[in-house]
Amino acid sequence: MPQHQAGTRPHRLSGWVIGATVLLGTSVVPSAATSSPDRLETLSPSVREQPLTQYRAYRRMHARNEHFGQEAWLEAWTELDARGFRYTIVSETGSEYMRNKVLKGVLKREQELVAGGDCRRSELTPDNYEFQDVQQGDGERYVTLKPKRKDVLLVDGRMVFSHDGSELLRVEGRLAKNPSFWTSLVNIIRHYARLDGVRVPVATESTAKVKFAGIAYLDVRYEYETINGRPVSVEARRTLPATAVR
């Protein structure tokens, strides 16, 4: 590899990490996003179901970049409560660079977002989005998300609800603003499930086009041990979609 490419590669991939990280924090579970899509235009950030205030979850993370032939895995315990976001790495394998700069970078960036109080900027509320075009098809209902500003914490895409509009299944789309000069077309799919009455993200898949590095991939799965101070029931674990447990 030419020397100038090797010297700039960390900056390119690091920029992608920051962009992909913004939707990975499980601390952001806005109540407004879980209501019926027919009433989204009248929603306010009020409590419509039990919010997520605390959790302990086992996180499985996988990153890869085909152009450089690099791949890495990391598993960690993550916790959120009144003291902030914390993590303890359990195991890590694969590319040292990908582990240190990408996967650990994701956890560190999430910790910084929570500590800085920036999570509200990414909530699915009328403060951040216009909700448009309730549509139905393929057994699901769709609501278009239009960010009210260009922000790396927001997604230009859609929310996908269950057929009756009662369950938020996933959020999918492109970041409203590229996180850096080096990254473009950052696409995200974030899957949700209701565990013991609380809406939580259970999986996130991100791809980004990185200049001179091709497509980078990041996949994260969450397995919750406790939610809001209570152990997650066996029944709740059985309801998880296949995408969350594979």
Q: Distance (Å, rounded) from C-alpha 111 to C-alpha 86?
A: 7
Does residue 224 have a pLDDT over 80? yes
**What proportion of the chain, given as a percentage, has pLDDT over 90?**
37
pLDDT confidence tier of residue 158, bands split at 50, 70 and 90: very high
**Helical packing angle, 104-115 and 3-21, nearest 10°:** 50
Quote the CA–CA distance of 90 and 60 in Å, as a whole number: 10
Q: Which residue has the higher pLDDT, 28 or 78?
A: 78
pLDDT band at 63 (very low <50, low <70, confident <90, very high): very high
Name which residue leads in pLDDT, 173 or 34: 173
Mean pLDDT (the chain) is: 78
Average pLDDT over residues 46-60: 78
Residue 207: is its pLDDT beyond 50? yes
DSSP state of 120: G
- Please tell me which residue, 236 or 158, carries the higher pLDDT value: 158
Predicted pLDDT of residue 241: 67
pTM: 0.81
Per mean pLDDT, which range of 14-18, 34-38, 54-58, 226-230 is the poorest?
14-18
User: If you average pLDDT over each of 73-77, 116-120, 178-182, which comes out highest?
Assistant: 73-77
pLDDT-derived band at 43, boundaries 50, 70, 90: very low
- Convert the chain into a string of H (helix), E (strand) and C (coil): CCHHHHHHHHHHHHHHHHHHHCCCCCCCCCHHHHCCHHHHHHCCCCCCCCCCCCEEEEEEEEEEECCCCEEEEEEEEEEEECCEEEEEEEEEEECHHHHHHHHHHHHHHHHHHHHCCCHHHHCCCCCCEEEEEEEEECCEEEEEEEECCCCCCCEEEEEEEECCCCCEEEEEEEECCCCCCCEEEEEEEEEEEEECCEEEEEEEEEEEEECCCEEEEEEEEEEEEEECCEECCHHHHHCCCHHHHC
pLDDT at residue 21 is higher than 70: no
d(CA 171, CA 191): 7
Instruction: Please check the confidence at residue 145 and state whether its pLDDT lies above 60.
Output: yes
